[in-house]
Amino acid sequence: MATELPSAMCLVNGHEMHFKRGGTGPPLVFVHGVLGTHEVWVELAAMLAEEHTVILPDLFGHGASSKHRGDYSLGAHAAALRDLITACGLDRVTMIGHSLGGGIALQFAYLFPERVDALVLVASGGLGREVNLLLRAPTLPGSELVLPLIANRWACRQGNTLSRGLRAVGIKGGPDVAQAWHGFESLGDAAHRRAFLATIRAVVGPEGQRLSAREILPQIAVPTLVVWGKRDRMIPISHALQAVELIPNARLEVLEKAGHFPHLDEPERFAELIREFTGGQVGKAQSRGA
């Protein structure tokens, strides 16, 4: 059994950000998606902690971090992560972001290029308009009144009933359903629900994603690994194909049996990809320093 990473709190702009940190070596920062927490990365981080410093934050509005009233835009999340990384005494990091976290990682690389060694985008948001109805529904007018009822009702249902509902919008079983279950359970809490709506409405509207990073992708100079599940029904794989065409130093890895959470569907393969990718970046850095 992997050793549990220790928890810590950091004061960022007067608000508490919860994170886990462990390991030694070149630092990796793992950024979860909307309605997620650091827990989505725990198994993977434990695999990599022997060769890397791993940092797993709960974004503001998520997990054990503050759910204050404020700015939940991609840029605000990126700035908060910069302050966390600085507080941890780190200079440059590899950013690994999933879904919403991928959009935040992209913003981080664009806004603070001097702080990034490499970038890993996992089923990333921010690369195109199209997203699943499940992500667009909370942006509709009146959803703040409906969400408490949905969250409480779903929390009381059996898992197979939830699975049938998710299949109706194209979401398959396995980690995709499990993570949707955990996420919707959390919306029973009013503060969490308010922060969720502020976050999702900052990046998604009824017609799809509001923001596209396509115009900044050619300016992402760091080595970039794009990882996607072939069975992803939340964000189409076409976004990944377009991204690797626009990012100068990018490559795409498609996990054939994975859905929207490839790091959960195929954790060993995903860890292998990260080791291979980050090992190559360390070698290049050492060559430049020689």
- What is the Cα–Cα distance from 195 to 109, expressed in whole angstroms? 24
3-state helix, strand, coil in the chain (%, to 5): 45, 20, 35
Nearest partner of 240 among 228, 222, 256, judged by Cα:
228
Q: Tell me whether residue 232 is one of the annotated catalytic residues.
A: yes
The contacts of residue 60 (CB under 8 Å, 6+ apart) are 12, 15, 17, 66, 67, 68, 70, 72, 76, 77, 80, 195
Q: Tell me whether residue 38 is one of the annotated catalytic residues.
A: no
Q: Identify the active-site residue in 65, 66, 99, 124.
A: 99
Bridge partners (DSSP) of residue 120 are: 96, 225
Q: Is 77 helix (H, G, I), strand (E, B) or coil?
A: helix
Nearest partner of 243 among 265, 264, 214, judged by Cα:
214
Q: Which helix (DSSP H) or strand (DSSP E) does residue 265 occupy?
A: helix 262-265
Q: Is 4 helix (H, G, I), strand (E, B) or coil?
A: coil
Q: Identify the active-site residue in 232, 239, 263, 265.
A: 232
Nearest partner of 208 among 288, 284, 140, judged by Cα:
140
- What is the Cα–Cα distance from 191 to 20, expressed in whole angstroms? 22
Q: Tell me whether residue 99 is one of the annotated catalytic residues.
A: yes
Residue positions annotated with a catalytic role: 99, 232, 260
